[in-house]
Structure 1
């Protein structure tokens, strides 16, 4: 009888181990299918400060660089910032891919059942998801254009009132008229592989 109980426990442990490795394989497959998205997050992290630096540099150029030299300085600044992005993006993308199993992988394994992971892999590999990912930038761009168009009449009066109040508070002459945001470009989302 004792041998039968031990054999049953060993069999249960073997099944549990086999299920665990299958779950790990499914998590690895999800991570592989999401690699482009993970790399895109890393790219966004690199690009965010680069865009801020570009904006700061543009403001500084207007204030400190003579008009005759602005174009040359702008090209130099642009080249330096592009070089930073080109060098830093692969480094951070590589780190993100290495870090993903320890963060995404652990959470996927904890929060999803094996069946849910199978369904997730099937969805990520499905032609419908691939088509959706391909269409997403265009969908987002159309949405952003409509939203910005609706933002102008909603926000313009509020921005003008705020501008008048700030001018009064700071006791300064009014600058060129401010208005609601111009057509913004949505952040490109990487398509899933």
Structure 2
């Protein structure tokens, strides 16, 4: 009887320990394998699931841009701005609702999509090199400087090419506006 109770307690402890490990640790990193631990660290640094945020937000941004184009020249600036502001509420609601769903799905799918590719295509040494690159202070510094560099380049391009590009942009806007008006007024 004593042995049976001890076995039952041991089994409950083993199950509890196993369950806590499964909840706390991603499936691909549960083994003692060094490669699995490296993959877990790589995914923590890389965040491949962030691509779904762009996948969710791109259609919303495109819809707003298309609406802006469709409204331009057809309604007053005040009405256009009010309509776009009203649309922004719907767009934000969509983003707030769709993004968590997509991120949750992406996180669940990592183990069956990205992890096998990393396991098959990269050695432990290569994974260590990728991690070192992602953790590099020089990379972090470079990434912090990107907005400043992009802004500096953008300002120079605008300053130098505005006179040549503005008339082309105005012509494009007029042409698109005329075609939209013609399409909406012709039966």
TM-score (norm 1): 0.58
Q: Tell whether 2:37 aligns with 1:43.
A: no
Gapped regions of structure 2 (runs ≥ 5): 1-30, 174-187
Deviation at 1:22, TM superposition (A): 1.0
Residue number among 167, 171, 177 corresponding to 2:171 in the alignment: 177
1:131 matched to 2:141? The reply is yes
Q: Give, in whole Å, the separation in 1 of the partners of 2:36 and 2:160.
A: 47
**CA gap 1:42/1:148 in 2 versus in 1, 3 angstroms:** farther
Confirm or deny: 8 A CA contact 2:60 2:91 kept in the other structure.
Answer: yes
Give, in angstroms, the shift of residue 43 of structure 1.
1.7
Distance (whole Å) between structure 2 residues aligned to residue 93 and residue 145 of structure 1:
35
In the alignment, which of 39, 48, 68 is matched to residue 27 of structure 1? Answer: 39
Per-residue deviation at 1:152?
6.3
Matched, 1:113 2:123: yes
| Count of paired positions | 143
Given the alignment of the two structures, is residue 80 of structure 1 paired with residue 90 of structure 2, yes or no? yes
Question: Structure 2 length as normaliser, TM-score?
Answer: 0.59
Deviation at 1:86, TM superposition (A): 2.1
The answer to whether the Cα contact below 8 Å between 1:31 and 1:101 also exists between their aligned partners in 2 is no
Distance across 1 between alignment mates of 2:150 and 2:114: 26
Q: Of Structure 1 and Structure 2, which has the larger fraction of its residues in helix?
A: 2
Residues 8-37 of structure 1: CA deviation (Å, up to 9, x unaligned): xxxxxxxxxxx98111111111011112xx
2:69 matched to 1:59?
Answer: yes
User: In 2 relative to 1, CA 121–144 (structure 1 residues): closer, same or farther, beyond 3 Å?
Assistant: same
